[in-house]
Chains A and B, each alone.
Chain A
Amino acid sequence: MSKSTFSTVYITVIVITFLMTIFPIFEIANRAEPFILGFPFNFFWVVLWIIVTFALVVFLYFKDPDRHEREED
């Protein structure tokens, strides 16, 4: 994967996951019930997407062509 492709993929991934947590998309999860794992549904939804984002970004990190970028100084 080239550097610019990586940037595009990275931006696309974080924008999509972020959109899940704000309106208008957030409205589909914006309910108190059912409670999941002791949390209101919207609370659970937000935590779920943060974990998904975390997993995706870790995955992308290992695909990053510049991961081992050397220091110039």
Chain B
Amino acid sequence: MPHWQIALVIMIGYLIVALFIGILAGRGKSGSLTEYVVAGRKLGLVVTSFLMGGAVFSAFSFLGAPGWAFERGAPALYIIVYTAFAILPWYLIGPKIGKIGRKYDLYTLSGFLKGRFRNKSIPILVGIFSLLAFIQYLATQMKGMAYIFNIMTDGRVPFWLGALIAYGIVVIYVATGGLRAAAWSDVFQGLLMVIISWVVGIAVVMQLHGGTTEMFTAINNAQPGFLEIGHEGSTMSAVGYTTTILVSLIGLLMWPHLFSKSYSSRPVTIKRTVLVYPLFSLFLIPLLLAGYAAIGVVNSGEVLPDEVLPYLITNVLEMPGWLYGLVGAGALAAAMSSADAITHSASLEFTNGVIHNVKQDLREQTTLLIMRSAVVIIGGLAYCITIFGGQGLIALLLGAYGSIVQFAPGVYSALYWRRATAPAIITGLLAGTFTNYYFQLVASSTPLDIHAGILGLIVNIVCVVVISFATKPQAAQHANAYVGIK
């Protein structure tokens, strides 16, 4: 049997197992709204850490991280740094958000901001922005899955079909099983991905170079500065590197699918998840090594950076067919574990943030129906972008990150700053998002090479502080309802 057939069989086998686990996890649980949105607010440590981790082990890390190492060298370290540090604030804010959520029966980021600022425009804006960012993010994952199917089968599964198959499965189990389904398949997918990245990362380095020292010495001799940041020969400035880390770091917990895990996990679970998380970032090391290993072996014009890992495996290395298939399955797992969480959360934010504030008094069953239909529609939109849009994986993700990070001033003010007012949060959010988009899409460069998302954040924070002091303070009981919770 040729390699591509074995690979195809293994990947399909993987998809069937993932589907099975997802459906099984959701079965037998009550069909209530609380179960669907926060799994009854009682997920355990293993499941929570993989839900959080699964979101980091995305198509971005499996394909994008080797791509960055291959194309840009040392700046790829940013991925490890932000993954390790971004979760740490959750130790303090997660339990507090969880308590507020239980007290006021919340399950989204938009609901959280609405409860504090008593204003409908904020949740509607948050609902719309998250929907846009989610669709982009989802398109990234689908693109990743489609690459994998396409490359691993030597082009026999066309791009559009690969994305469609994998995505169909996500939609089916998220629409039926809710958070619990997404959670359990993440445990399975997370384990698979960690094991595969280590096996492949080490195998690639050993086969091509004999060891990491030999590999890095060769790179450093051929391209001095490539393994450093901001020096001559480097691909990124020091300011660019630092602000890219900052934007990803502040943005991570503002992603509604991660933020809302504060509601579904108990305080002790949140804290333990934070403890193990920095180790998750180290799991990414072999993926960077694989990208470095391709330098000098693969010509940079020959292949897109995002495709370098699958390309290495299929065209350069001598690997048995089953290993091919496992890599395919690992990458699918990475993409799907992000896709399911994103889809679930996107449907929640949109329904709770936009629909609930436009039309009130929906019955619980109607709400559930809208959420489930939203899963299908959001998936469909992302699919269209995947097939017709043509940006690189990472530009997409960083673009979306730039907008999501603009929620941070609102969230942190809601938790800790009594003087913050609704008009200030709205203005800040709009001004920050506008600034980010201007520098990302219109301007050709940014001042001092600062990341567009950070420029937006600076504008955002200035607006929030200045306008808060210029407007009438919030009624003390509303501010205290959040800030006063210990």
Q: Which A residues form the contact surface with B (CB < 8 A)?
A: 3, 7, 10-11, 14, 17-18, 21-24, 26-27, 30-33, 35, 38-40, 42-43, 46-47, 50-51, 53-54, 57-58, 61, 64, 66-69, 71-73
Contacts and interface: CB of A to CB of B under 8 A. Distances in A.
Contact of A69 (B242, B246, B268): B268
A67 B271 contact: yes
B82 to A, nearest CB: 9
- Chain B interface bracket (under 10, 10 to 19, 20 to 34, 35 or more): 35 or more
A23 B77 CA distance: 13
A57 B211 CA distance: 32
A43 B74 contact: yes
B227 A40 contact: yes
28 contacts: A7-B92, A21-B81, A22-B242, A23-B239, A26-B242, A27-B238, A30-B229, A31-B228, A32-B74, A32-B216, A33-B220, A35-B217, A38-B212, A42-B77, A43-B74, A43-B77, A43-B227, A50-B80, A50-B278, A53-B88, A54-B278, A57-B274, A64-B271, A66-B267, A67-B271, A71-B266, A71-B267, A72-B102
Interface in B80-96: 80-81, 84-85, 88-89, 91-92, 95
Given A39-B216, A40-B220, A57 B92 contact: no
3 closest cross-chain pairs (CB), A and B: A38-B212, A32-B227, A23-B238
Contact of B268 (A31, A32, A39, A67): A67
A27 B228 CA distance: 10
A73 to B, nearest CB: 6
Contact of A61 (B41, B216, B271, B281): B271
B199 interface: no
Interface of B: 41, 74, 77, 80-81, 84-85, 88-89, 91-92, 95, 99, 102, 211-213, 216-217, 220, 224, 227-231, 238-239, 241-242, 245-246, 266-268, 271-272, 274-275, 278-279, 281-282, 285, 486
A4 to B, nearest CB: 9
Contacts of B80: 46-47, 50
Contacts of B486: 3
A35 B267 contact: no
Q: Which of A54, A67, A73 has the most CB of B within 10 A?
A: A54
A41 to B, nearest CB: 9
Contacts of A35: 213, 216-217
A53 B212 CA distance: 25
Contacts of A32: 74, 216, 220, 224, 227-228
A40 B279 contact: no
A20 to B, nearest CB: 10
A39 B231 contact: no
A68 to B, nearest CB: 8
Contacts of A21: 81, 85, 245
A40 B231 CA distance: 15
A68 B269 CA distance: 11
A10 B92 CA distance: 9
A38 B219 CA distance: 13
A39 B88 CA distance: 26
B227 A50 contact: no
B89 to A, nearest CB: 8
Nearest to B92: A7
Nearest to A47: B282
Given A17-B85, A61-B271, 7 more contacts: A21-B245, A22-B81, A26-B238, A30-B230, A32-B216, A57-B274, A68-B268
Contacts of B241: 22-23
B227 A23 contact: no
B211 A38 contact: yes
A46 B81 contact: yes
Contacts of A17: 85
Contacts of B212: 38-39
A32 to B, nearest CB: 4
Nearest to B205: A38
A30 B41 CA distance: 44
A34 to B, nearest CB: 10
B275 A53 contact: no
A24 B272 CA distance: 31
